């Protein structure tokens, strides 16, 4: 089977879309992201943070660190699309991951700026009901078991 590599036009198209304003809109945050060999439930972690009434100083520092790690990974994905000898399928997978990471980064930056209000809106209530908290509680990114179960009592 012959592997067809990504053409220059296809490469430019993906990079143009990735650099587009709001490229992350509609992108799915990866459910799991690996950091230093540890699997982080990224999607659930972000939703848990969004639904907290108030972030602790420790969580804010964690958010800043996570943004930095995600930024570096997104840049590596983008560089691979731009320069690596890859197939269209591999490039599309990298694009999907990079746009999902951009979405995660934007959500985390909004959290840093306090963009999510404390009042209940339909989107937050729906998201809260969809979360499965047990996997988050076992993660090192969760400050305490109490924080995990606090969410369940407020839905």
Which domain range does residue 147 map to?
A: 38-153
d(CA 87, CA 5): 4
- Residues 69-119: tens digit of each pLDDT: 999 999 999 999 998 889 999 999 999 999 999 999 999 999 888 755 554
Lowest mean pLDDT among 8-17, 66-75, 79-88, 133-142: 133-142
In angstroms, what CA-CA distances link 47 with 17, 28, 90, 108?
26, 13, 28, 10
Residue 149 covered by a domain: yes
* pTM confidence score: 0.68
Residue 100 within any structural domain of the chain: yes
pLDDT tops 60 at residue 31: yes
Residue 91 burial by Cβ neighbours in a 10 Å radius (0-12, 13-18, 19+): buried
- Number of domains, the chain: 1
User: Is residue 17 domain-resident?
Assistant: no
Structural domain contains residue 52 = yes
């Amino acid at each position: 089977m012959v592997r067809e590599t990504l053409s220059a036009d296809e490469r430019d198209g993906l990079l143009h879309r990735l650099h587009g304003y709001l490229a992350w809109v509609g992108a799915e945050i990866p459910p799991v992201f690996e950091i230093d060999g540890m699997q982080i439930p990224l999607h659930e972690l972000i939703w848990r943070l969004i639904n907290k009434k108030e972030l602790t100083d420790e969580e804010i520092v964690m958010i800043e660190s996570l943004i930095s790690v995600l930024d570096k990974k997104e840049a590596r994905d983008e560089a691979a699309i731009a320069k690596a000898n890859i197939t269209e399928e591999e490039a599309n997978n990298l694009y999907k991951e990079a746009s999902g990471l951009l979405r995660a980064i934007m959500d985390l930056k909004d959290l840093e700026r306090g963009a999510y209000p404390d009042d209940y809106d339909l989107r937050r209530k729906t998201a809260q009901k969809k979360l499965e908290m047990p996997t988050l509680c076992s993660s090192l990114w969760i400050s305490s078991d109490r924080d995990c179960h606090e969410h369940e009592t407020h839905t």
